[in-house]
């Protein structure tokens, strides 16, 4: 698997996007978030998405240039229409604005409608937790349907990821989960490879549990909500929460969005612990809880010690910074071909 210096890979990804016509600030933000996704182990939402992004730039479904529209702004809350600009740029800008205001308001909440793909939500978190802030992000795609409501058979919702990050004295607690058992990207990847889900993670169009991802991608089936066939009401409820926060607060959702390739709605919230009991008091609690989880006696099926969400991401990130960012063997030739076509030099590969 190729290993590439993180800065070199970021510069390369930015150059590719710029060569395809994306404005410089948007290309920079998108490249940084994609590479961060790879660095923390979210390979399905890393630079492997570049060929798709380049195709979207070419067909116009991802806008190359322009600005968001401010729909509402009350200081502690704001709403933007992203006009299908790059999701990484929109979320980065929104988080920057929220972080600038949070010392004044304590909590800043935002909703963005009509954003293109938002990448791995956990890839935005580290910069804010390093500043002692708490951050939450969730998103959905009202233009698409992948998950049936619990007890139903017709796809309606999307996997609707939720991410939250909390500062500690060390690595942040970093939670990033979908409200469905698996993601659309993973389903498409397995279907294309002719592989099965590890378990029955989906329903056929008739509502029967299945481990075949092609039942979803080719035959009208749906992904099961988190909790599966027996406890899927839990993921279903969380999925509704994500849709109503992002779509309801932004004013653009399933009630007024036509089916299409991508028009995501996002919900963002930044919290400053200093507006509450203070960052030191917060870290006292977060440190204690994280340490208590890690020192909990592991069960027989646990490999090594109990982990806290974010431990694996931090380990991957440190390795990527020291050794280079791994890029999938099958993906790298496709990316290299696009670079050749656009006249962008390839970065040096370490291994």
Specify the pLDDT at position 49.
Answer: 95
* Residues contacting 167, CB < 8 A, separation 6+: 129, 130, 132, 133, 134, 273, 279, 282, 283, 286
**Residue 182: pLDDT above 80?**
yes
Place of tokens 């291994």: 351
Cα of first residue to Cα of last residue in the chain, in angstroms, is 7
Q: What is the mean pLDDT of the chain?
A: 96
- Rounded Cα distance between 331 and 334, Å, is 5
CB atoms within 10 A of CB 43: 19
- Give the CA count within 13 Å in the CB-facing half-sphere of 329: 2
**Residue 185: pLDDT above 90?**
no
pLDDT band at 231 (very low <50, low <70, confident <90, very high): very high
**60-96 per-position pLDDT tens digit:** 999 999 999 999 999 999 999 999 999 999 999 999 9
| Lowest-confidence pick of 69-83, 222-236, 257-271 | 257-271
Specify the pLDDT at position 259.
Answer: 84
* Mean pLDDT, range 172-188, rounded to an integer: 95
**Residue 18: pLDDT above 90?**
yes
The interaxial angle of helices 6-19 and 331-342, nearest 10 deg, is 50
pLDDT band at 258 (very low <50, low <70, confident <90, very high): confident
| Longest Cα–Cα distance in the chain | 55
**Percentage above 70 pLDDT, the chain:** 100
pLDDT band at 1 (very low <50, low <70, confident <90, very high): confident
**Residue 351: pLDDT above 80?**
no
How do strand 77-81 and strand 69-73 relate by DSSP bridges?
antiparallel
* Mean pLDDT, range 171-189, rounded to an integer: 94
**113-132 per-position pLDDT tens digit:** 999 999 999 999 999 999 99
Burial-class residue 301 by CB neighbours within 10 Å (0-12, 13-18, 19+). exposed
Closest CA to 275 of 109, 122, 125, 103: 103
Specify the pLDDT at position 41.
Answer: 95
Specify the pLDDT at position 303.
Answer: 87
């Amino acid at each position: 698997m190729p290993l590439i210096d993180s800065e070199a890979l970021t510069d390369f990804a930015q150059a590719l996007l710029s060569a395809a016509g994306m404005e410089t600030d948007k290309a920079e933000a998108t490249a940084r978030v994609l590479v961060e996704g790879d660095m923390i182990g979210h390979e399905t939402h890393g630079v492997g998405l570049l060929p798709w992004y380049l195709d979207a730039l070419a067909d116009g479904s991802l806008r190359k240039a322009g600005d968001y529209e401010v729909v509402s702004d009350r200081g502690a809350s704001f709403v933007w229409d992203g006009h299908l600009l790059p999701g990484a740029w929109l979320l980065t800008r929104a988080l920057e604005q929220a972080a600038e205001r949070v010392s004044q308001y304590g909590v800043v909440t935002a909703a963005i409608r009509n954003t293109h793909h938002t990448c791995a939500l956990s890839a935005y978190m580290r910069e804010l937790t390093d500043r002692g802030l708490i951050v939450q992000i969730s998103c959905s795609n009202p233009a698409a349907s992948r998950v049936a409501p619990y007890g139903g058979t017709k796809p309606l919702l999307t996997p609707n990821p939720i991410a939250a990050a909390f500062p500690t004295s060390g690595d942040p607690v970093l939670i990033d989960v979908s409200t469905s058992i698996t993601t659309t990207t993973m389903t498409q990847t397995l279907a294309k490879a002719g592989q099965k889900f590890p378990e029955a993670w989906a329903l056929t169009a008739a509502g029967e549990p299945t481990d075949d991802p092609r039942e979803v991608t080719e035959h009208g089936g749906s992904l099961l909500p988190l909790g599966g066939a027996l406890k899927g009401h839990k993921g279903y409820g969380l999925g509704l929460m994500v849709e109503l926060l992002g779509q309801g607060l932004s004013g653009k959702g399933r009630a007024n969005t036509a089916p299409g390739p991508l028009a995501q709605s996002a919900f963002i919230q930044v919290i400053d612990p200093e507006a509450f009991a203070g960052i030191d008091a917060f870290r006292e609690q977060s440190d204690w809880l994280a340490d208590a989880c890690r020192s909990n006696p592991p069960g027989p099926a646990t490999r090594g010690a109990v982990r806290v969400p974010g431990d694996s991401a931090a380990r991957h990130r440190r390795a990527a910074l020291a050794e280079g960012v791994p890029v999938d063997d099958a993906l790298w030739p496709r990316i290299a071909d696009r670079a050749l076509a656009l006249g962008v030099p390839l970065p040096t590969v370490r291994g």
